[in-house]
């Protein structure tokens, strides 16, 4: 009873004290009430967004630079002046594309008048037209970060499923199958138990926007118990030529791709005795190989070379011709549109145009023509050369370059080993507890 009485007495005294002198409590509450949280600075495009009313939208059909600014309280005389002073940097009359995003930075007042227009033609690049005080325009790029990562896997059904189960980008499979091992491993015939490990870099814009796999630095693929190493190496810094070589400096690719497109089927082969019903079954030689593909399918240069023709003419429609060396030339007919110009150097796999139906054609395809010593031949019946070997001087540098990368690659445990060790440790832990 004594303790309960004492506790009751202490509480009563405290209550009286609070009533007699309430000021400290009120002062604390007053201090809490006036504390204002200052927002953190948010920078984008080089501006502190907290200083403006930020309006984001995309270019809609019918939108022009003038219409967008008029909607945001900028008068026509000023719009005309802005356009004239910005045209040397960016043609705002023709450069805006439907669906592309833009940002307006506006004054924090009742009118919210626009003071800066920022246009993004793609995820990386942007154009700033700033008219807060004086008018100036410039192009810039968002900060890009590359993060190196590793991945391993064991094939159960196919490589795409193996990557998907780990939440990895399917682009890894594409790069390994089409860019690295296209001439050494048939990825349509992988075996259960084949395994791989790869060192690659992911690309991020503004630290947060993931844009996919940037490149593969090194890879190891074990197919039918046979090992295949691949290391990325720049052989020509002027032309930016990058190839993949094995641990002995042997180039993994061939001089020519098997086909210039991802095709559905070969609709017509090289045939010097071809007869066509529409021409009365007269012999009309076909000196190309027709790869059927949907309109808009990218057409790739089958080998490194220089564009010698890029134009539209007669039955060829839109076409591109490339000289690869003193012996070989290739030509690509019936394009919807062309991407390259005469004199331009292209690398194997570069997109040079898109499948179409221009010229004399009964359906969407690319007619691929192949010249050897100035004469059109069937590419499927040629013993095509291997890719140009690495020079002796580069070989020494290459072997030094890949030495630490190979150590890194070899030290990566296969995923099956990781799982086995995890299960073994789990079993040991259970035995220890028992």
Place of tokens 């399917």: 170
Q: What is the pLDDT of residue 242?
A: 84
Question: Quick one: 374 and 279 in the same domain?
Answer: yes
In a domain, 390, yes or no: no
Question: Quick one: 289 and 187 in the same domain?
Answer: no
In a domain, 14, yes or no: no
In a domain, 370, yes or no: yes
Q: What mean pLDDT do residues 205-228 have? A: 91
Question: Quick one: 372 and 276 in the same domain?
Answer: yes
Question: Quick one: 134 and 191 in the same domain?
Answer: no
Q: What is the pLDDT of residue 273?
A: 64
In a domain, 30, yes or no: no
Domain holding 188: CATH number?
A: 3.10.450.350
Q: What mean pLDDT do residues 70-75 have? A: 94
Q: What mean pLDDT do residues 12-19 have? A: 54
Question: Quick one: 343 and 332 in the same domain?
Answer: yes
Q: What percent of the chain has pLDDT over 70?
A: 83
Question: Quick one: 170 and 119 in the same domain?
Answer: no
In a domain, 18, yes or no: no
Q: What mean pLDDT do residues 118-136 have? A: 93
- Mean pLDDT of all residues in the chain? 84
Q: What is the pLDDT of residue 409?
A: 95
Provide the token pair at 269: 């082969």
Q: What is the pLDDT of residue 398?
A: 95
Q: For the stretch 259-285, what's the b/e string if a residue is b when 16 or more beta carbons lie within 10 angstroms of its beta carbon? A: bbbebeeebbebeeeeeeeeeeeeeee
390 versus 106: which is more confidently predicted? 106
Q: What is the pLDDT of residue 104?
A: 97
Question: Quick one: 127 and 193 in the same domain?
Answer: no
In a domain, 23, yes or no: no
Q: What mean pLDDT do residues 426-431 have? A: 47
Question: Quick one: 174 and 70 in the same domain?
Answer: no
In a domain, 369, yes or no: yes
Per-residue pLDDT at 149 exceeds 70: yes
Number of domains composing the chain: 3
Q: What mean pLDDT do residues 355-377 have? A: 91
Q: What is the pLDDT of residues 81-102, one digit of tens each?
A: 999 999 889 988 788 999 999 9
Question: Quick one: 179 and 222 in the same domain?
Answer: yes
Domain interval for residue 98: 43-141
Q: What is the pLDDT of residues 285-336, one digit of tens each?
A: 778 888 888 999 999 999 889 999 999 999 899 999 999 988 999 999 999 9
Q: What is the pLDDT of residue 11?
A: 55
What pTM does this model have? Answer: 0.61
Domain holding 269: CATH number?
A: 2.70.70.10
Q: Read off the pLDDT band of 431 (50, 70, 90).
A: very low
Q: What is the pLDDT of residue 278?
A: 46
In a domain, 402, yes or no: yes
Q: What is the pLDDT of residue 395?
A: 93
Phi and psi torsions of 66, nearest 5°: -65, -45
Q: Quick count: other Cβ atoms within 10 Å of Cβ 33?
A: 8
Question: Quick one: 202 and 298 in the same domain?
Answer: no
Q: Give CA–CA dist 344/378, Å, rounded.
A: 26
């Amino acid at each position: 009873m004594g303790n309960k009485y004492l506790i009751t007495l202490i509480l009563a005294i405290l209550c009286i004290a609070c009533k007699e002198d309430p000021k400290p409590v009120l002062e604390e509450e007053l201090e809490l009430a006036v504390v204002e949280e200052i927002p953190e600075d948010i920078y984008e495009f080089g501006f502190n967004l907290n200083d403006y009313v930020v309006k984001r939208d995309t270019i809609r059909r019918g939108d022009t630079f003038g219409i967008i600014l008029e909607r945001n309280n900028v008068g026509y005389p000023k719009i005309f002046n802005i356009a004239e002073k910005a045209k040397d940097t960016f043609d705002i009359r023709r450069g805006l594309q439907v669906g592309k995003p833009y940002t307006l930075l506006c004054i924090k007042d009742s009118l919210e008048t626009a003071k800066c227009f920022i246009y993004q033609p793609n995820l990386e690049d942007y154009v700033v037209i700033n008219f807060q005080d004086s008018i100036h325009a410039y192009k810039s790029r968002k900060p890009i970060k590359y993060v190196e990562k590793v991945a391993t896997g064991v094939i159960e059904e196919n490589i795409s499923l193996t990557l998907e189960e780990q939440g990895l980008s399917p682009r890894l499979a594409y790069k390994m199958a089409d860019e690295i091992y296209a001439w050494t491993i048939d990825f349509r015939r992988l075996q259960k138990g084949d395994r791989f490990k790869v060192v690659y870099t992911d690309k991020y814009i503004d630290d947060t926007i993931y844009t996919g796999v940037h490149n593969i630095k090194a890879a190891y693929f074990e197919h039918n118990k046979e090992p295949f190493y691949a290391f990325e190496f720049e052989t020509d810094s002027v032309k930016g030529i990058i190839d993949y070589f094995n641990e002995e400096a042997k180039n993994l690719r061939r001089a020519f791709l098997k086909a210039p497109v991802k095709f559905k089927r070969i609709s017509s082969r090289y045939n010097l005795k071809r007869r066509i019903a529409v021409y009365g079954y007269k012999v009309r030689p076909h000196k190309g190989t027709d790869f059927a593909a949907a309109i808009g399918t990218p057409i790739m240069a089958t080998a490194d070379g220089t564009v010698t023709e890029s134009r539209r003419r007669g039955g060829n429609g839109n076409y591109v011709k490339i000289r690869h060396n003193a012996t070989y030339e290739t030509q690509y007919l019936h394009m919807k549109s062309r991407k390259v110009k005469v004199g331009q150097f292209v690398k194997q796999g570069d997109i040079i145009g898109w499948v179409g139906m221009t010229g004399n054609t009964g359906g969407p395809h690319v007619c691929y023509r192949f010249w050897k010593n100035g004469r059109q031949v069937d590419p499927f019946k040629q013993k095509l050369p291997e890719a140009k070997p690495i020079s002796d001087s580069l070989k020494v540098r290459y072997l030094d370059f890949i030495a630490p990368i190979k150590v890194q690659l070899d030290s990566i445990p296969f995923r099956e080993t990781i799982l086995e060790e995890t299960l073994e440790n789990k079993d040991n832990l259970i035995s220890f507890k028992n």
